[in-house]
Each structure stands twice: as structure tokens, then as C-alpha cells.
Amino acid sequence: MCYNYAVRFVWLHHERSKVCEPPYHMTQCTSSARLERQTPAPILKWAGGKRALLAQFAPHFPHPSQYQRYVEPFLGGAAVFFHLQPAQSLLYDLNPHLIEVYTVVRDHVEDLIVALQKHHHDRAYFYALRAQQPSTLSPVERAARFIFLNRTCYNGLYRVNRQGHFNVPFGKYTNPTICDEPGLRQASRALQQAQLAVADFEVVLDVATSGDLIYFDPPYAPLSPTSSFTSYTSEGFSPTDQHRLAAAFRTLDARGCLLMLSNSNAPLIAELYHGFHLHPINARRAINSKANGRGLIQEVLITNFRAADRP
Ligand SMILES: C[S@@+](CC[C@H](N)C(=O)[O-])C[C@H]1O[C@@H](n2cnc3c(N)ncnc32)[C@H](O)[C@@H]1O
């Protein structure tokens, strides 16, 4: 089943429209730069972050009156969550360190700010902190270490070795923001009603019900065998995982969920999501080991509904 919602906005009567700045329907005609300013700055730099693509996504978001809960099973940098700031949400990622950071931001933001202020930008200090055993730290200290390393390491990459130890080198920044106090407090407020858990994306099959909006942003299918960047976790994301994800997408579609999914423009993706709406998205590739691999590439945003028919 592929939903075709002729959206009837009753947003004037809808509670959320009174409290959300800006009203969500306005975001359709908003420039990329303006949308970025209106969305809280991400706490973390994260490969595949969607902040720069929000203006292209905006015409495809359903209005908040159309869904009860927001579910995001590949949370990463959480750009879409922070943009939508849904009233109720379920947020997941397979990376336990990442989920711990968001949990600490939600529950202990003031302690986290104090812990972050102890860190400073220095090469030797970076390597000393990187060498620390995270298990010897408290959750707040671990979250502060994670944010510090993320903001000062090379390109904000996240990569671990076989032992699961973070191994990205020192970055080339002159004066990185290590402790963005207003940004952290803003993120903490946005996360107050969010449930966070470490899980494989298939958890959505257990929790999602009709009327939920689910946004999937998995590690992308490679365009060619050598172009992949799929090491967000030590496990990677294989073609079998892409098939598993497409099967979950079809199950949730039949259940009556509103679905949005980002992926590369690879032939496998067109094949797996045949019958749904595929919207082209222009993205700038930020992470590639070869300099000539950077530049504009086309991705796709796949939906099982049309939000464009707005009055
Ligand atoms: C492309 S990133 C998400 C980017 C994010 N949505 C953003 O806007 O910044 C993919 C995320 O999926 C997570 N991940 C990888 N395999 C997963 C799996 N099997 N289940 C759940 N999360 C997974 C990674 O840890 C990573 O954070």
C-alpha cells in the first residue's frame, strides 16, 4: 500500500502550531540557510548529517497533525529530529556511545557542560584523552570525552578499531567549539520527551504503530564497490542489511506508518523501493578518502505518502 495523502491542514486548530516556531508549513518555502539557522546546531559532527538537506526535505515532511509519534532508528547526528522537534519520539542507534551522549544531554546537561569546560584544544591532550579507557569514566565524563573527541578529531569522523577503541586522528581545526552551552541546553530541551535506546533498526517492527512517522537514514548502499563509507559502527552495513531494511519498510507501510528513508541513488535502492515515491536530493559528499570524490552527488528520499498536495 502506498499512501497518497491529500493533506487537509487544520493546523490553525492544532496545539502544536501554537507552540512551534516556525509553523511547519512555512518551512516548505524556506531557504537552506534559513532552515539551518532555525534548527538547533547539531551537538555532534556526524557522517551523513542531514542538516544541509533540510530545505530539500521540507516539502516532503507531513504536518505534525498527521502523525502521533516520531521514530528515528538510525539517529546519528539527529538533524531531522532536532528540526522537527516532535512532541513524542522514539530514537535508536546501534552505537551505544552515541545513545549515551544523547541520554546524558537529556538528563544531565548542566553536569555535562561543567565536564566539557575542563577540556581544551591541544594535540597532546587529544591523544591522552583518546587513550583513556571509557569504562573507567562516569557517564557524564564519557559523554564529555565523546563530544570533545568528535569536535576536535579529523573531519568529525567516528571510527573504531577491532577492539572498539576510537582511533580517528587529531583534526585540523584552529579554534573548534568544544562546549556550545546554548546549543546543548536547546538540545536537552528538545530531548526531554524522547525515549532513547541502543538497538538494531528492526526494533521499529516491535514498537511502531499505525500513524507513526518513521525516518530512516541508514548507512548508504555504495554506488560502486569501491565507493562505500559504511563504518559508522564496527559492524558495517551490508547488502543483506539493505534488503532487511527494505523488508521492514514494506511491513511498516502495510501497517499504516508514514515512512521517509534516505539512501544513495544506487540501482539496488531503486529496485528495493520500487512502487514508492523516490524524490531526488542533491547532496555534497563530505567524507571520501579521495579529494576528487567530493562534490555534488544525487541521493534519494523515499516516501510512502505524498505531502505535496497542500492547500
Ligand atoms: C547515516 S548515519 C545517520 C545520520 C543521521 N540521521 C544524521 O542526520 O546525522 C547512520 C547511523 O546508523 C547507525 N547504524 C548502523 N547500523 C545500524 C543498525 N543496524 N541499526 C541501527 N543503527 C545503525 C550508525 O551508528 C549511524 O549513527
Does ligand 1 lie within 6 Å of residue 242's CB atom?
A: no
Q: Give the mean pLDDT of the chain.
A: 85
Same domain for 231 and 82, yes or no, is yes
User: In testing the pocket of ligand 1, which one of 75, 90, 301 has its CB within 8 Å of the most ligand atoms?
Assistant: 75
Q: What is the CA radius of gyration of the chain?
A: 19
In a domain, 106, yes or no: yes
Name the band, by pLDDT with cuts 50, 70 and 90, for residue 274. very high
Segment 128-174, tens digit of pLDDT: 999 999 999 999 999 999 999 999 999 999 999 988 899 999 999 99
Decide: 219 in ligand 1 pocket, CB within 6 A: yes
Same structural domain for residues 281 and 239?
Answer: yes
Which atom of ligand 1 approaches the CA of 218 most closely? 10
Residues 85 and 232 in one domain: yes
- What pLDDT score was predicted for residue 165? 92
Task: Specify whether 125 is located in the same domain as 86.
Answer: no
Average pLDDT (6-16) is 30
Ligand 1 pocket mutation, candidates 56, 83, 94, criterion most atoms within 8 A of CB: 94
CB 182 within 8 A of CB 228: no
Residues 274 and 131 in one domain: no
Q: What average pLDDT does this structure show over 39-59?
A: 90
Q: Is the pLDDT of residue 74 over 60?
A: yes
Give the distance (Å) from ligand 1 centre to CA of residue 76: 5
In this structure, the answer to whether residues 242 and 282 fall within a common structural domain is: yes
Q: How many domains does the chain have?
A: 2
**Chain-centre distance of CA 33, in angstroms?**
18
208 belongs to a structural domain? yes
| 8 has a pLDDT exceeding 70 | no
Find the domain containing 152 and state its range: 97-192
Domain final position from 192, 210, 226: 192
CA distances from 157 to 29, 103, 119, 147, 202 (A): 32, 21, 19, 12, 25
Ligand 1 centroid distance, CA of 81 (Å): 13
Say if residue 90 is in the same domain as residue 214: yes
Q: How far is the CA of 6 from the centre of ligand 1 (A)?
A: 31
Asked whether residue 121 carries a pLDDT value surpassing 50, the answer given is: yes
**Residue with C-alpha cell 531503486?**
270
Same domain, 88 and 203: yes
C-alpha cell at 3: 499512501
Local confidence band at 293 (pLDDT 50, 70, 90 cut-offs): low
What is the reported pLDDT for 5? 41
Question: Which cell goes with 109?
Answer: 546537561
pLDDT tens digit sequence for 236-258: 899 999 999 999 999 999 999 99
Q: Could you say which of 192, 210, 244 is where a domain stops?
A: 192
Confidence of residue 14 (pLDDT cuts 50, 70, 90): very low
| pLDDT level of residue 295 (50, 70, 90 thresholds) | confident
- The pLDDT value recorded for residue 37 is 60
Q: Based on the fold, state whether residues 265 and 147 are members of the same structural domain.
A: no
Could you tell me the pLDDT band of residue 31, with boundaries at 50, 70 and 90? low
The verdict on residue 272 lying in a domain is: yes
According to the model, what pLDDT value does residue 171 have?
95
| Among candidate residues 154, 170, 192, the one where a domain is terminated | 192
More confident residue, 119 or 6: 119
**Is residue 3 situated within a structural domain?**
no
Asked if residue 156 and residue 114 are part of one domain, the reply reads: yes
pLDDT at 47 over 70: yes
Of 8-12, 136-140, 266-270, 274-278, the range with the lowest mean pLDDT is 8-12
Least confident interval from 35-39, 128-132, 196-200, 216-220: 35-39
Is the same domain home to 214 and 185? no
Q: For residue 78, what is the domain's CATH number?
A: 3.40.50.150
In a domain, 311, yes or no: no
Amino acid 233: pLDDT: 47
Confidence of residue 22 (pLDDT cuts 50, 70, 90): very low
**pTM for this entry:** 0.86
Same domain (yes/no): 155, 241: no
In a domain, residue 4? The reply is no
Residue of 216 and 222 predicted with greater confidence: 216
What single string gives the DSSP state of each residue in the chain? ----------GGG-HHHHH-SS-GGGGGG--HHHHHHHSPPPSS--TT--GGGHHHHGGGSPPGGG-S-EEESS-TT-HHHHHH--SSEEEEES-HHHHHHHHHHHH-HHHHHHHHHT----HHHHHHHHHS-GGGS-HHHHHHHHHHHHHHBGGG---B-TTS-B-PPB---SS--S--HHHHHHHHHHHTTEEEEE--TTHHHHH--TT-EEEE-PPPPPSSTT-----SSTT---HHHHHHHHHHHHHHHHHT-EEEEEEE--HHHHHHTTTSEEEEEEEEE---SSGGG-EEEEEEEEESS------
